[in-house]
Structure 1
Amino acid sequence: MRILFATPEVSDFIQVGGLAAVSAALPRALREFADVRVIIPGYPSVLRGLQDLKPVGRCQPFAALPAFEIDLGHTADGLSFYVVRCRELYERDGTPYSDRSGSDWGDNNIRFATFSYAAAQLARGLVDKHWSADLVHANDWQCALIPGYLEWHYAHIPTVFTIHNLAYQGVFDRSTLGQLGIPEASFNIDGVEFYNRLSFIKAGLVYASHLTTVSQTYAREITTAEFGCGLEGLLRQRADRNQLSGILNGIDESWDPRTCASLLQPFGAGDWTERALNADDVRDQFGLAVSRGPLFALVARLVHQKGVDLVIESAQAIVDAGGQIVVTGKGEPRFEEALLNAQTRAPRSIAVKIGFDDAEARKIFAGSDFTLMPSRFEPCGLSQMYAQRFGSLPIGHRTGGLAETIVDGETGFLFDRPSAPGFLGSLCRAFSTFGMKDRLDHMRRAAMAQAFSWTDSAKSYAALYRSSL
């Protein structure tokens, strides 16, 4: 079984969100079941990270999409990567999606249509004469045209399309249809049209053989008006035909506090004295006062979806009750500014680091007592899994993957509505638990016992692939 796994980011080389971590771990876990090869755009970090890149083929321009080359390389552990090389599209400073100022690249439609077209051609065996795909697994809107290009070129290759976050859809002006080589006949309610605009993600939702998302709860939620982002009708149709599944993400084995090299002091369940040394380290690094109170962490993209405004609104109450807050992440300027202002008002109780560093995040999970996740919606979420493995009890809204991975009152705390009163209620429960050492010990042990392995997820995807062939 030959699987082409298409993704716009992989944490081996470049990471913007949780998709990168999934794209690094899932293909590796799937190697037990299939010949899995990843395809990714040729960003500078990818070209630097794969030392054995060799060209396997070249494609000529298509519509207004430029010519490109596809190279094949491997990571140190042998995972195969096809890299779409087009200097004018991918070799730029910034993130995969935006420039250094945070503004989306103005030609993202061309960039990810080219990538999708490249993946489709590779899958068909028209690029690498030694390899073609039995199935393509495409991820998020940046890869969503792959099922479309296969359909429009009459290639009968099954596709699985995974929705990691339905709120990001890749919507562009309809005038670009011809430039992208998308048939005019597909621009209708049963195709790529979305309120008279071109929707990349809708191409994936319409043309893929099977849809998945990253938790069973989110798979149900996106069929409702509250979470469906205007696509709930289409998603209900796919669900009614048993063509929409929820498969929970996992986390990789490096998230083990007994062996994690990023920590000042490794520890296991029950080693609370050793764990406290990590808390002291975090307070010292972030300039927080020595304290016997609880340390709350926010490790997230600083955007509205993540409920950052609820954290800002509750920050003073946390400090007044004897708690401290440490924040790391980046996102919307309004939230970054508000958090930095909160730090200015209480610099020994609130610490904010704009930006993200994996090693620093690991230290924070290992040193904090509670991790704040008041997300308005959360397709899966990874931070609550990382937090539990490191003994930091998550406080989350009962939605998506949070509802499936946090056991309320046992491994963390859940609240039912994404509102300040609901969030404050869970914060009060956390403070109460922190004051009951036996209860805190029990909950930490239960949280750290959670596995969140990729093994079960990989088995589910492999079974889905086989049933789709």
Structure 2
Amino acid sequence: MDVRILIPGYRELVEAAGPMAVVSHLPSRGAIPACSIGKTQTADGLPVYVLLCPELYDRAGSPYGDQHGVDWVDNDIRFARLSLAAAEIAGAYPVEGWRPDLLHVHDWPAALAPAYLAWNKSATPCILTVHNLAHQGLFPAERMDRLGIPSQAYSIDGVEFHGKVSFLKAGLYYANHITTVSETYAHEITTREHGCGLEGLLRDRSREGRLTGILNGIDESWDPYTDPHLAAPFAAGRWRGKAKNADSVRKAFGLAVSRGPLFAVVSRLVPQKGVDLTIEAAESIVRHGGQIVVTGRGEAHFEKALTALSARHPGHVGISIGFEEKLARRIYAGSDFLLMPSRFEPCGLSQMYAQRFGSLPVARATGGLAETIEDGETGFLFETSSLGSFLGAVYRAFDAYRSRARLAEMRRAAMACDRSWANPAQGYARLFGQALNLSKEAAA
């Protein structure tokens, strides 16, 4: 397959890519400015088209907000530009003579693309992958003209959602097929508990056979024997290297030398991730001889609470606010258990990273966590989002730690799990083929 990526020209990306050839220009629509398309490639040669529009993307901060975490006021324009560019390249404005047979778009920032295809009368099929339904891209209805959205699209069968324009709903409605990043999450989002108000539309798509769950994978760099970020390499059954990584992590976080288990949190510090449950459980973990390291960034009150927790338990709880990949990889490699008490988790990658590095996840049985963790074999699962249920799994982890033979057996099983992209890639290939065949049949 001839796969190419389209991505906004964020400041860091453009600076890292260096000089790039401009291969196309796209016109304005409504308040969406004209832009150019630059071309670069990934390290392994995958073509990347970069949306060059400095007035929208050349900014300090994150892709979605400024340096203080405040959303950009023109995010609707910024991501409508991305969606429209994808639809235009698939329609009247091919790049370098290349027009895709199919668009595959991700989450709300690109979810207007299938809608623009429909409004442009384009027959190019489009698949939308939902990574997190909770983020929907909601904007005032009075901005429709600025976004080039036809007035008739503002309805329940279109972009309207509780009096606003929903980018994600538009994608769910107009896409030919919807995928999520696990089979469990594909079912969960058709329920009131996890459907975020869109469960009715998603149940319709499920009944039509147009909603599929395909579990994510992780790349080949997650190999504890070859990862250059680690303090020492190791493999299943050769645990000395893992112990050296644990020593490195304890030193980095100022923890005492300990014979107890090392629990880790590598996460965004937000309610979805159950950070409050981790904070509540910490007292019991420390009392039973465990240590905890946390790295991540998120809501200020969680950052403050975790910092206070560390101050109450010096030498037993260590906190690093922020994210640094080398440190995160060493934490996965050095920890015994990874805490993931998520209230919902569409797929989750941290548990796969941890398993690959011999750290057993302790997680709620939701979304992709339920699919990637075999309870009592490659980690520990608990059912309800409550402190009692969570601690029950934590205590089982302590029990496993006390039995060195069982701990080694579980580590080996976790490290042997196949989390590569081979199976997901086959799933997407089948789905792409089906979408193209249906499109050809419709055209005939």
- Report TM bin, short chain: over 0.9
User: Would you say 1:399 and 2:396 are equivalent positions?
Assistant: no
8 Å contact from structure 1 (residues 56, 127) kept in 2: no
> For the Cα contact (< 8 Å) 1:50–1:75, is it kept in 2?
no
- Over residues 230-280 of structure 1, what are the superposed CA-to-partner deviations in whole Å (9 max), with x where a residue is unaligned? 000000000000000000000001001011101111000011122111101
Partners of 1:59 and 1:443 lie apart in 2 by 54
Q: Which amino acid aligns with 1:79?
A: L
Aligned pairs for 1:195-344 (under 5 A) are 195-344=162-311
What is the aligned partner in structure 2 of residue 162 from structure 1? 129
> Quick one: which of 114, 120, 142 aligns to 1:175?
142
CA contact (8 A) 1:117 1:145 kept: yes
Q: Distance in 2 between matches of 1:412 and 1:65?
A: 48
Q: Distance in 2 between matches of 1:333 and 1:156?
A: 46
- 1:112 aligns with 79
1:464 maps to: 431
Distance 2:378 2:413 in 1: 6
Structure 2 alignment gaps of length 5 or more: 437-444
Distance, in Å, in 2 between the alignment partners of 1:95 and 1:447 is 34
Aligned twin of 2:110:
143
Alignment partners' CA distance in 2, 1:98 and 1:414: 35
Structure 2 counterpart of 1:77: 44
Deviation at 1:125, TM superposition (A): 4.6
SS of 1:161 mapped into structure 2:
strand
Offset of residue 123 of structure 1: 1.6
| Residues 53 and 74, structure 1, Cα contact 8 Å, conserved in 2 | no
CA distance in 1, matches of 2:197, 2:342: 20
Q: What's the offset of the Cα at 1:51?
A: 3.6
Deviations 1:63-100 (A, max 9, x none): 11111111111123111000111111000000101111
Q: Equivalents in 2 of 1:292, 1:375: separation in Å?
A: 28
1:356 aligns with 2:320: no
Q: Point out the more displaced range, 422-431 or 117-126.
A: 117-126
Distance 2:335 2:131 in 1: 27
Q: Does 1:422 align with 2:422?
A: no
Give the C-alpha shift of residue 384 in structure 1: 0.3
Report the 3-state secondary structure (helix = DSSP H, G, I; strand = E; otherwise coil) of the residue aligned with 2:178: strand
For 1:306, give the aligned amino acid.
K
Give the letter for the 2:210 counterpart: Q
Distance 2:29 2:23 in 1: 19
Are positions 1:63 and 2:63 aligned together?
Answer: no
Would you say the 8 A contact 1:58–1:127 is kept in 2?
Answer: no
| Counterpart-to-counterpart distance in 1, 2:151 and 2:326 | 48
Tell me how far apart the structure 1 counterparts of residues 426 and 435 of structure 2 sit (CA, whole Å): 14
Q: Deviations over 1:112-165 (max 9, x none)?
A: 001111111112151424111100000000000000000001011000000000
Amino acid in the other structure paired with 1:248: L
Q: Which one of the candidate residues 158, 183, 193 is aligned to 2:160?
A: 193
Distance in 1 of aligned mates of 2:313 and 2:43: 46
User: Is the Cα contact below 8 Å between 1:294 and 1:323 reproduced in 2?
Assistant: yes
Partner SS, residue 138 of structure 1: strand
Is 1:371 the counterpart of 2:343 in the alignment? no
- Once the two structures are superposed, the pairs formed by residues 125-144 of structure 1 within 5 Å of their partners are 125-144=92-111
Q: Deviations over 1:299-346 (max 9, x none)?
A: 000000000000001111111111100000001111111001101111
Question: Which residue does the alignment assign to 1:22?
Answer: none
* Amino acid in the other structure paired with 1:179: R
Distance 1:396 1:52 in 2: 45
In 2, the alpha carbon distance for the partners of 1:273 and 1:259 equals 15
Verify the 8 A CA contact 1:70 1:127 in the aligned structure 2.
no
How far, CA to CA, are the matches of 1:217 and 1:180 in structure 2? 34
Q: Distance in 2 between matches of 1:417 and 1:394?
A: 16
In structure 2, C-alpha distance between the alignment counterparts of 1:51 and 1:245, rounded to whole Å: 38
Q: Secondary structure at the match of 1:35?
A: coil
How far, CA to CA, are the matches of 1:283 and 1:38 in structure 2? 40
Cα distance in 2 for partners of 1:345, 1:123 equals 57
Alignment equivalent of 2:376, drawn from 391, 409, 426 = 409
Contact 1:275-1:366 at 8 Å conserved across structures: yes
Distance in 2, Cα, partners of 1:158 & 1:50: 30
Distance, in Å, in 2 between the alignment partners of 1:411 and 1:362 is 19
The code of the aligned residue for 2:279 comes to: I
Contact 1:145 1:203 in 2 (8 A): yes
Give the SS at the match of 1:36. Answer: coil
Identity %: 56
Q: Distance in 1 between matches of 2:105 and 2:10?
A: 18
Q: Which amino acid aligns with 2:285?
A: I
Instruction: Give the counterpart of 1:42 among 6, 9, 12.
Output: 9
Structure 1 stretches lacking a partner, 5+ long: 1-33
Instruction: Output the CA distance in 2 between the equivalents of 1:129 and 1:187.
Output: 35
Separation (CA, whole Å) in 2 of partners of 1:129 and 1:393: 48
Can you list the C-alpha shifts for 1:386-438, whole angstroms capped at 9, x where unaligned?
00000000000000000000000000000011110100100110111111111
SS in 1 for 2:51: strand
Structure 2 CA distance for aligned equivalents of residues 44 and 167 of structure 1: 27
Output the CA distance in 2 between the equivalents of 1:405 and 1:60: 45
CA–CA separation in structure 2 for the residues paired with 1:335 and 1:298? 13
